[in-house]
Amino acid sequence: MLTLLSLIAIALYLFAAVRQWQRLGSGDSNLRAQVLGAGTLAWVLQTSVTAQLLVEATTLNLSIFPTGSLIATTVVMILLLSSLRQKLDNLFIGVFPMAALTLLFTLIIPESSSAKSYGLGVITHILLSIVSYSVLTLAAFQAVLLSRQERALKQHHTRGLVNSLPPLQVMERLLFEMITAGFLLLTLALISGFIFTDDLFAQHLAHKTLLSMIAWVVFATLLGGRYLLGWRSRTALRWTLAGFILLMLAFFGSKAVLELIIGI
C-alpha cells in the first residue's frame, strides 16, 4: 500500500509540475486549479506515507530517506500555503519534482530502520531544524529563479517564465523574507540543539553542528550585507546557495556517510 500511495503521489507531483510549466505566461485559472489540486493531493499522500515510515510504535525512524521525505513534505506545505498570498507558483516547477524524487528514493533504495525514542526537547530541536531547512530550501529555489529573471531582463527576454514572474524588486523582497525567516528558525534550532543534546561526539553530531554553524554565519553575513551594503540578486544567489549547500551537507551528508557507507 505504501508503494502504491508513493507512486500515485509521484505521478501527481510530476503532473502538477508539467501543468505549471504549461501555464507560464498564460495565467489560465483552470490550470492553476489543477496545479494546486494535484499538488495538494500529492502532498497529502506523501505526508501519509512519510508518517508511516517515521513513526514506529513509540519511536521515530529518522534515517536518511524518511527524513528527506519529511523535509520535502514540509517544503511543499510551506509553498502551498505561501502561494495563497504571494506569487510563488513558479517554484512548483522545481519543488514538486524534488518532492517526487525523495519519494522515489524511499521506494528503490533499501535501508535499515534506526528508530529511537526522543525526549520533548530533542523533538523540538528536530522540528525547528526541519522547518528552518525547509524555508531555506525554498529560498534557494527563489534565488535561482531570481537570478534567471535578472539575466533574462538584461538580455531583453521577457516572454515565458520571466513574463509570469512578479517585478524584480518583489522577487528580491520575497527572497530576503524567506532567508530572514529561515535564519531565525535556524538560530532557534541551533540554540535548542546546544540545550537538549547531551554529547555531540557520542551521537555523531559534531560535524553536523559545525556545518550548521558555518551555514548560520553565511546567512548572517548575507543578511548583514543586504541591509548594510545593499547586496542584491547575483550576490544573494551565491551566498544563499553556499548556505543551502552547507545545510544540505549537514542534514544529509553526515547521514549518508553514517548509514550508507559506515552502516551505523
Instruction: Compute how many other C-beta atoms are within 10 angstroms of the C-beta atom of residue 260.
Output: 13
For the chain, give every domain's residue range.
1-57+88-117, 118-264
Averaged pLDDT for residues 13-38: 85
Least confident residue range of 48-52, 94-98, 109-113, 185-189? 109-113
- Cβ 207 vs Cβ 164: under 8 Å: no
| Separation CA 204–CA 54 (nearest Å) | 20
| Separation CA 141–CA 213 (nearest Å) | 22
| Separation CA 46–CA 48 (nearest Å) | 5
Highest mean pLDDT among 19-33, 57-71, 98-112: 98-112
Show the 3-state SS of the chain. Answer: CHHHHHHHHHHHHHHHHHHHHHCCCCCCHHHHHHHHHHHHHHHHHHHHHHHHHHEECCEEECCHHHHHHHHHHHHHHHHHHHCCCCCCHHHHHHHHHHHHHHHHHHHHCCCCCCEECCCHHHHHHHHHHHHHHHHHHHHHHHHHHHHHHHHHHHCCCCCCCHHHCCCHHHHHHHHHHHHHHHHHHHHHHHHHHHHHCCCCCCCCCHHHHHHHHHHHHHHHHHHHHHHHHCCCHHHHHHHHHHHHHHHHHHHHHHHHHHHHHHCC
Instruction: Read off the pLDDT of residues 169-206 as tens digits, 9 standing for 90 and up.
Output: 888 888 999 999 999 999 999 998 888 776 554 455 67
Instruction: Read off the pLDDT of residues 202-234 as tens digits, 9 standing for 90 and up.
Output: 455 677 888 899 999 999 999 999 888 888 778
- Cβ 189 vs Cβ 128: under 8 Å: yes
- Cβ 176 vs Cβ 236: under 8 Å: yes
More confident residue, 57 or 129: 129
Cell matching residue 227: 541591509
- The closest alpha carbon to 205, from 134, 129, 119, 102, belongs to 129
More confident residue, 167 or 177: 177
- Cβ 50 vs Cβ 66: under 8 Å: yes
Is the pLDDT assigned to residue 139 strictly greater than 60? yes
- Could you tell me how far CA 127 lies from the centroid of its own chain? 13
Least confident residue range of 103-117, 176-190, 240-254? 103-117
- Cβ 87 vs Cβ 149: under 8 Å: no
Is the pLDDT assigned to residue 18 strictly greater than 90? yes
Highest mean pLDDT among 17-26, 56-65, 175-184, 200-209: 175-184
pTM: predicted TM-score of the whole model, two decimal places: 0.84
